[in-house]
Amino acid sequence: MSLAPLLVAAPLVAALLCAAVARRAAAISALAATITLVVGAVVAFSSFGAPAEHALAGLMYVDALSGLIVLIVALVAAIAALYAVPYVRNAVGAHEIAPTEVRWFYVWIQLSIAAMFAVPLMNNLGLMWVAIETTTLTTALLVAFFRRGHSLEAAWKYLMLGAVGLGFALFGILLTYYAASHALGEAAAALDWAELRANAAALDPALMRVAFALVLIGFGTKAGLAPMHTWLPDAHGEAPTPVSVLLSGALLNCALYGVLRFHLLAAGTLGPSFSSDLLLGLGAISIAVAVPFVLVQHDLKRLLAYSSVEHMGIVALAVGIGGPLGLFAAAFHMFNHSLAKTTLFVAAGALGQRYGTLRLARMRGAFEVAPLPALGLVVGTIAITGAPPFAPFASEFGIAQAGFAGRPAALAAAVVLIAGSVLVFGGMLFHVLNVALRTAPRHLHVASFPFAAAFVCVPLVALLVMGIWLPPQLREAFSAVAAVLRVAP
Amino acid sequence: MSVEGPLPGLMLTWQIDGMSLFFALVVLSISSVTTVYAIGYGRHHHGFPGSGLLYALFILAMLAVILAGDAFTFLLAWETMSLTSFGLVLTDHRRATVRQAAWAYLVMTHTATAFIVAAFLLFARTSGSLVFADWTAHAPALDPFVASIIFVLGLVGFGTKAGMIPLHVWLPRAHPVAPSHVSALMSGVMIKLGIYGIVRLSFDWLAPGPAWWGALILALGATSAVLGVLYALMEHDLKRLLAYHSVENIGIILLGIGVALVGRSLDLPGVIAVGLAAALFHVANHATFKALLFMGAGAIDAAVGTRDLERYGGLLRRMPITGACFLVGSAAISALPPLNGFASEWLTFQSLLTLGRVASEPQTALLPLFAGGALALTGALAVACFVKAFGISFLALPRSQHAAAAREAGALEVVAMGTLAAACVALGLGAVPVVSFIGQIVPSAGAPLAGPALGITGVGSGQLVVPGVAVALVALGALAVSLPRLFGRVRSRVAETWACGITLQPLHEYTATAFAKPIRLMFRDIVRPVRDVGIVHRVGTRFVASVDYRSHIAPVFERYVYVAIKDRLVAIAHVVRRAQNGSLQTYLAYVFAAVLTALLLAR
Amino acid sequence: MIGAAAVVDGLALALLAVALFSVTIRGLVSGVWLLVVQSLLLALVAATIGVSSGAAHMWAAAILTLAVRAFAVPAVLFRVLTAVALKRETRPLLSSRDALIVGVGLALTAYLAAGRLELTGAFPARQALPVSLALIFIGLLLMATRRKAISQLIGLITIENGIFLAGLIATLGLPLFVEIGIFFDLLVAVGVTAVLTLRINEQFDTMNTDELRRLRG
């Protein structure tokens, strides 16, 4: 009896309860996130060592790859939901959110979390698409929650581009279903992952090429791969910060998960080179596109958002490089990016509420204003830009090593990765140092940030430790994911 | 000795061989002295919370770099060293120049690390391993072209850390603004780890390569030495002056390495031995006297409150011990016998001459002669520079109220400086045992001691001549001073200086800028001096109220290379950013174009 | 069987004509009415396939299409239009004539592309697949050239219609529970978009998406 269904059910119930009991909405949401953190960890870690299993009468499918995404979503959702409590309280104090609206914030947060858990757990690829589309809808409302001009604009573009992108993905899924129903005969199971993976070799190659191309662009839009990433800085930058945490830390990985599933299918039909090369190219483009926007930037959260574009590119590139080391590092990097980016957004959000703005030009002297978030911002930036001795360096090093050992295209991609990382390091550090140092402005807003040390220091210490030593459980986890992602040459 | 690392098949490996031992000795001895100084310094200058921890981590990281046995461990330690020192450079972060310097330092060193990563991964590509020992084993099988790429990548990476021209620009910016015990460690020790990397790369991990590798290092070394000392002469910020001297001395060390590397290409073990011995000896010596000088500069800075030479003066009477120690350091860095700087520079000359003599082809014979000329010029200019630094700071009358009110440094600082001053003398006088010790722990540098046995004639005697030459030169100097006293009738008469009838003021003294003027004029095509003369008239008259005369040198490398690259990148970024124009229609077009491209590729 | 295919072909061509017509008009109310017509045609396609193939879930698809695409979605759109008191699209980026020319060009491209794909659908209707591609392209054209938020939404729904048509033809629809999920999502999407449209109208006092160009770089 798998606990996986609980991961979707608990946030759904929490959403209903939040809507019903407005005064306890924050507590309910925090409690639900804590529960899903524990359950998610149990589900994830039991999936890593074991063979894939079905749950809920075959509706759900849990293998190591799902497990990794579940783990990331559980972790990020817990941090986002817990951080939402002080954040919303401050926002209400600053008259950004009406007190009557508060419960709806938690309702939508919990609904988004339920949808994000559903993505990696769905056995049927069509339902996976439905879950991804649902995340778009719920998070779009959250992006627009402040009802300011900018947040409405961001939500509108997010919704439109997301819908168009997912439309292409649906078309790709349709073609896959067509190919599968030809190969497998009349079968309601023709979109079931386990079934498809087992019979991938029998699918029509020409069709699968087109299907993968469409799904890559479609889910790639949602995953923030360039050049379809244009909505991402708007949405991640304008959303309330707990939502930015969810979007950058969890949702991008969910969308990338969709791409990875179809990569495995396409590789099963066509051999690895077609889909790997496309991932490699799109990853390299994403890294290259993110660089100029990081070098010249005016908004702290947009800066972090472009860094997410870069890192989604890095993961795509790593999967494109492939091999045991590259895939291990890809899984490792997904995890690292989520942890580091979550910390960065929390720190940025805490600082933003103190300054009353996220414009880089107006944020300065953060070390005087709020030492812990400032520390989180600076050290988090050093970590996420791939500087040793933090974990993202280890994963990026693994990716680059795999690339250098691989085919010429992989070597070139690894060079792009190294060069891009260096430029992003210089750019992000420039902006972040200007925020952290200099003389603080006189007029600051009142905003409390309890348990700042836990929010900031625990993830940073974890990143530091994982840069040097990986706990055996996580090592096993990433190896298991690499084994799932392995495509036969 | 190894621990499991964070990636599959990755072990964090440690190794100790003679080379590590030698560099570890340098790190440990210098850092223990600077720590004593730091404790004294910390009594009246408080760093930020956690700066003590960063300082300790910095030293540990430097040790870890030396003891690392594989690429990953090395990079962890290497970047920790950069990050911790970056944090320490930021101590005085309220000043914009400090922030800019720290950022420039970190970005340059991170870029350099990327070059090192690329070099390491090319090793890993061919050997299939990240362990240094495996690289050494696989070295002969390496494709020569790939080997050359690795060599250049590594040279750029490690050369940046070492402060080799033209990759030096971070050094004179970052070193002066750090607290002095940190400057002492950075200039004295950290940049030597760049040298460590170059030595490991070219003598350990790579098989003997083409002769141009060594020639390249010789050329870079000569350039660094001459330009470094010229730039130092133009400075009147004491710590920047010292920082430029670090560039110069890295150049001198590179000369030794270049000789050894050419020797390696031509398979001349004796030449390798002399060159390496000279380079490593100079590593130790420069660490000693540069740490001493930076601590002295820190003591002066603490006492006077500025790093501007023009505001010092008359400090010898007020800070006699600091003055004496600084004098020893100045003499050592100027390569005056019998101090340690002389010993290793002499050895470097020897190595260059040996190469010139042994090399059979004319081009390999000419190169060391040019380099030798550069080294001679460097030595002469260094003497001039330290006559200026010491004379303007410590002699004559105080040029500012703060200088007049200066007090001697605290006991711990004095002890630290005294220790290193004594070490300068000891390393100079004990050059022979020290070089033989280096030869014992670093096998490839040990050949000269068994010189005749290896069939290298003349080299061995060159080694042993060091103290002899020193003693001879000292005796000659002493003779020059004492001859008049012995044979002539020297009468000294104390009287007031004649100043055309006006009262003498500190304003009338020789300034550092004026002192350096002849040399500035001589080399103006190279250093490109810029002169700002601001004349302020009294209101309504043509009488001059004040003249402000400033001279500085045009930052050629910064302006035409680094700032140019940065500006170009930012300009490109501004252009590319227009793609994100806010229009949903445009964004839809991007998606559509991506779909069409993907479909085209999927055909 | 052949007869049914011919009927479906005819319905598909009618769909294409309606879509091309919606490119030329500016009235927003007529635009939504044209969506209703599109949906009715789609329901007819589903029903025809249902009759000829005897696939029971095709009937479900037809009913869902009627309920969601032909009734619920337009109802939401009409409410939005009433709420914001808006009649016409102002100054589209292309004139009606130019838009029609581009639209026809896109339709031809779709025919060429579909010819390359060589799908022998589960249902032998030759026109349907090119038309579904053409609907997707025309929807994109609408989204890219119109300034009003609601017109962009109309474009988006046209794209969805194209995908749905392809699904009906190529595979006799997706498995039913997936189909229901997709319909549900479409409904929610239109609802969410409508809410956003109203808020944008409230905030900017316009539904013109030209206002939505402040987030750059």
- Helix or strand or coil: residue B14? strand
Within a domain: residue C214?
no
Residue C125's pLDDT is: 67
The answer to whether C22 and C34 have CB atoms below 8 angstroms apart is: yes
Q: Which residue of B has its CA nearest to C116?
A: B603
Residue C119's pLDDT is: 63
Distance CA C62, CA C60 (A): 5
Count how many Cα atoms sit within 13 Å of the Cα of residue B42 in the half-sphere of its side chain: 16
pLDDT tens digits, residue range A444-456? 998 889 999 999 9
Is the pLDDT higher at B443 or at A128? A128
Nearest to B364 by CA among B211, B207, B209, B260: B211
Distance CA C116, CA A49 (A): 45
Q: Which chain B residues touch A295 with a CB distance below 8 Å?
A: 569-570, 573
Nearest to A306 by CA among A344, A268, A269: A344
Q: Which chain B residues touch C93 with a CB distance below 8 Å?
A: 585
Distance CA A318, CA A395 (A): 10
pLDDT (tens place) for every residue of chain C, 217 residues total: 457 788 888 898 999 999 999 988 888 899 999 999 999 999 999 898 888 877 777 888 889 899 999 999 999 999 998 888 776 766 777 788 888 899 999 898 888 877 766 666 556 667 788 898 899 999 999 988 888 888 889 999 999 999 988 888 877 777 877 888 888 888 888 999 999 888 888 888 776 777 788 888 8
Q: Taking CB atoms and an 8 Å limit, are B585 and C143 in contact across chains?
A: yes
Domain enclosing residue C166, as ranges: 1-85+92-206
Chain C residues contacting A via beta carbons under 8 Å: 117-119, 121-122, 136, 140, 143, 149, 152, 156, 159-160, 163, 166-167, 170-171, 174-175, 177-178, 181-182, 184-185, 188-189, 192-193, 195-196, 199-200, 202-204, 209, 211-215, 217
Q: Which amino acid would we find at residue A61?
A: Y
Backbone φ, ψ for residue C175 (5° rounding): -50, 145
The parts of chain B modelled with pLDDT lower than 70 are: 1, 444-470, 488-491
The answer to whether B194 and B105 have CB atoms below 8 angstroms apart is: no
- In this prediction, residues A404-432 reach a mean pLDDT of 96
Q: Which residues pair with B533 in a beta bridge?
A: B549
Residue B466's pLDDT is: 55
Helical axes B238-265 vs B340-358, angle rounded to 10°: 30
Nearest to B590 by CA among A165, A293, C161, A416: A165
- For the purposes of burial, counting CB atoms within 10 Å of the CB of A57, is it exposed (0-12), middle (13-18) or buried (19 or more)? exposed
Within a domain: residue C79?
yes
Q: Which residues contact C5 (CB under 8 A, 6 or more apart)?
A: C52, C123, C124, C125, C126
Residue A7's pLDDT is: 96
The DSSP string of C122-143 is SS--TTHHHHHHHHHHHHHHHH
Count how many Cα atoms sit within 13 Å of the Cα of residue B14 in the half-sphere of its side chain: 10
Q: Which residues contact B270 (CB under 8 A, 6 or more apart)?
A: B263, B354, B358, B447, B448, B451, B454, B455, B456, B459
Q: How far away is chain A from the Cα of C7, in angstroms, using its nearest Cα? A: 22
Distance CA C204, CA C154 (A): 21
Q: Taking CB atoms and an 8 Å limit, are B580 and C144 in contact across chains?
A: no
The answer to whether B474 and B342 have CB atoms below 8 angstroms apart is: no
Residue with tokens 């959250």: A142
Q: Which chain B residues touch C116 with a CB distance below 8 Å?
A: 603
Helices (H), B442-530: 451-454, 459-487, 512-515, 517-522, 524-527
The answer to whether B20 and B280 have CB atoms below 8 angstroms apart is: no
Nearest to A328 by CA among A42, A82, A108, A48: A48
Tokens of B280: 């490593």
Distance CA B275, CA A261 (A): 59
Q: Which of residues 480-539 of B touch A (CB under 8 A)?
A: none
Residue A342's pLDDT is: 97
Within a domain: residue C211?
no
Residue with tokens 């550092």: B512
Residue C121's pLDDT is: 59
Distance CA A263, CA A270 (A): 10
Distance CA A352, CA A279 (A): 35
Q: How far away is chain A from the Cα of C6, in angstroms, using its nearest Cα? A: 22
Within a domain: residue C212?
no
Within a domain: residue C213?
no
Residue A355's pLDDT is: 95
Pick A216's closest partner by Cβ from B111, B125, B598: B598
Distance CA A44, CA A49 (A): 10
Using DSSP bridges, classify how beta strands B2-4 and B11-13 pair: parallel, antiparallel or unpaired: antiparallel
Q: Which residues contact A300 (CB under 8 A, 6 or more apart)?
A: A348, A351, A352, A358, A359, A360, A363, A431, A435
Q: Which chain C residues touch A167 with a CB distance below 8 Å?
A: 136, 156, 159-160, 163
Q: Which of residues 103-162 of C touch B (CB under 8 A)?
A: 113, 116, 140, 143-145, 152
Q: Which residue of B has its CA nearest to C117?
A: B603
Using DSSP bridges, classify how beta strands B544-553 and A60-62 pair: parallel, antiparallel or unpaired: unpaired
Within a domain: residue C215?
no
Count how many Cα atoms sit within 13 Å of the Cα of residue A371 in the half-sphere of its side chain: 5
Q: pTM value?
A: 0.93
Distance CA A424, CA A295 (A): 7
| The pLDDT of residue A61 is above 90 | yes
Preceding peptide of A233 cis, ω within 30°? no
pLDDT tens digits, residue range B284-342? 999 999 999 999 999 999 999 889 988 898 899 999 999 999 999 999 999 988 899 99
Distance CA C39, CA C41 (A): 5
Cβ neighbours around B404 below 10 Å, total: 15
Distance CA B584, CA C140 (A): 11
Q: Which chain B residues touch A217 with a CB distance below 8 Å?
A: 591, 594-595, 598
Could you tell me if B588 lies within 8 Å of chain C, comparing CB atoms? yes
pLDDT tens digits, residue range C126-142? 778 889 889 999 999 99
Q: Which of residues 106-165 of B touch A (CB under 8 A)?
A: 106-107, 110-111, 113-114, 117-118, 121-122, 124-125, 128, 130
Domains contained in chain C, number = 1
DSSP B537: E
Q: Which chain A residues touch C212 with a CB distance below 8 Å?
A: 152-153, 156-157
Mean pLDDT check: name the lowest of A206-210, A376-380, B341-345, C94-98: C94-98
Distance CA A165, CA B595 (A): 9
Distance CA A130, CA A143 (A): 20
Pick C178's closest partner by Cβ from A127, A144, A298: A127
Cβ neighbours around B248 below 10 Å, total: 26
Residue C182's pLDDT is: 86
Residue B507's pLDDT is: 73
pLDDT band at A489 (very low <50, low <70, confident <90, very high): low
The answer to whether A169 and A258 have CB atoms below 8 angstroms apart is: yes
Q: Which chain C residues touch A130 with a CB distance below 8 Å?
A: 178, 181-182, 184-185
Nearest to B394 by CA among B480, B491, B482, B329: B329
Q: Which chain C residues touch B603 with a CB distance below 8 Å?
A: 116
Helices (H), A271-322: 272-295, 300-321
Q: Taking CB atoms and an 8 Å limit, are B591 and A382 in contact across chains?
A: no
Q: Which amino acid would we find at residue A268?
A: G
